[in-house]
A and B are shown apart, each in its own frame.
Chain A
């Protein structure tokens, strides 16, 4: 009786898994069929520009979020006292941040980065010149994406640091290391693979997000790649959205849209693959006994 039930459950699981795999394969295959052709033959300027723009905004996002996120994780894991109120507040804030829908980040980015920070800078640096920083651009899109990436980086890095055995910190301290030295020479290097996993996952997530950049810098079309952090930019995800919704002849835009989707998928999937490899290494490193 029980065993029959087990077998039914097993079959259902296998079915679900097969469905999932099939869906993924179907998506990738149909996109690849339509898209790669368009990629090879009718290379559009728009696609190249969108790829460049994605790279630029992802780069800015990484630059803004990684140092801040890793340092916050270091603070939480190595220095904060769990019973302090400030620690509890930071933790709660990080968790809340992780749960916010990404469109809300877009709105926040517009209000905070573009209008508040950007306009504020303009008032100080370029009085009377109009909007230089105070308008949507690749810088503020990157900053907005960074806020989205922060909780992922903080949570994974903190976990990686907590997995470093305390004996290693004490080994360093007993040899005359200060706590800062113990952190940056021992804990952080030991947690490196785990921290990197979080960073790559966060970048992967950020690179594919469209909602946060909608109002903060993405453009339908720009004549050239952004050479200035204060310029607007094209983005693969946004380009896909624009192609699919704004063309008068939706059918003719399909190949281009598929090509865009292929590129976008390639970027995010390969970032996730890198994260998987790194996580694998982190797990192995965490248990050196298992390796011996």
Chain B
């Protein structure tokens, strides 16, 4: 079924080195539009590194070198003429640890909008409300939009970070273990949210929870020691893994 959808984002021969140490080698992976792709694999296998390469976040670490291509709608985001800022507006990111900015809840949600120079106050708050509703946190913060974002609980902070990312309406949303710091209830809400987000965005989800990958993703990609070992429809990868390492991982004997 995913085959029918056009390709939104595609990594081609993507490698990342930190100070000449290869952490990600030659990964090629195509992501269909409006789908959820889960990235799984043992800790340290390069999932976050791959994710960060997809919106050029390695640009600013001097020790990192990225090779290969990442095509967004067929165009390489690493082409010298492409502005990383524009890329990041189209490819949003939610980090492994909630990282609200100092300032109020409203400041956080409107940060990206204010950068994009939309100064109209009323449309700012409207769009903030829409984003907060979409991230299923509106009811909890509607009465205290001016309060410090740091006064929220971890789960609320993470949903605020999601709201902040979708407020600028990116086309792709990269989520790095968005539930790793959350309780089951908050996790459930975020999973429901991801399923909802899929209707508009292309979602890439790094997760350590195999159950979560099965619940929310259409496609699953398994990474091991910096390489992409296997990818395919989620049900197929979990029920009938082709590669020995994948078998061991999804059955819980490595990782």
Contact = CB atoms under 8 A, between A and B. Distances in A.
B216 interface: no
Interface in B114-133: 115-116
B111 A172 contact: yes
A181 B89 CA distance: 14
A176 to B, nearest CB: 4
Contacts of B116: 176
A172 B100 CA distance: 10
B84 to A, nearest CB: 8
Contacts of A281: none
B111 A174 contact: no
A174 B88 contact: yes
Interface string B147-165: 0001000000000010011
A168 B88 contact: no
Given A176-B85, A176-B88, A288-B150, A170 B57 contact: yes
Given A167-B95, A170-B95, A190-B102, A175 B62 contact: no
A: contact size bracket: 20 to 34
Contacts of B92: 174-175
B97, B101, B150, B165, most chain A CB atoms within 10 A: B101
B164 A175 contact: yes
A175 B165 contact: yes
Contacts of A168: 99, 101-102
A173 interface: yes
A83, A170, A176, most chain B CB atoms within 10 A: A176
A95 interface: no
Contacts of A171: 95, 99-101, 161, 164
A167 B93 CA distance: 12
A3 B32 CA distance: 72
Contacts, number: 66
Contacts of B60: 169, 173, 179
Contacts of A83: 62
A189 B111 CA distance: 14
A174 B165 contact: yes
B168 interface: yes
A165 B102 CA distance: 11
B75 to A, nearest CB: 18
Contacts of B100: 171
A177 B164 CA distance: 13
Contacts of B112: 175-177
Contact of B57 (A173, A186, A189, A190): A173
Contacts of A181: 115
A292 B150 CA distance: 9
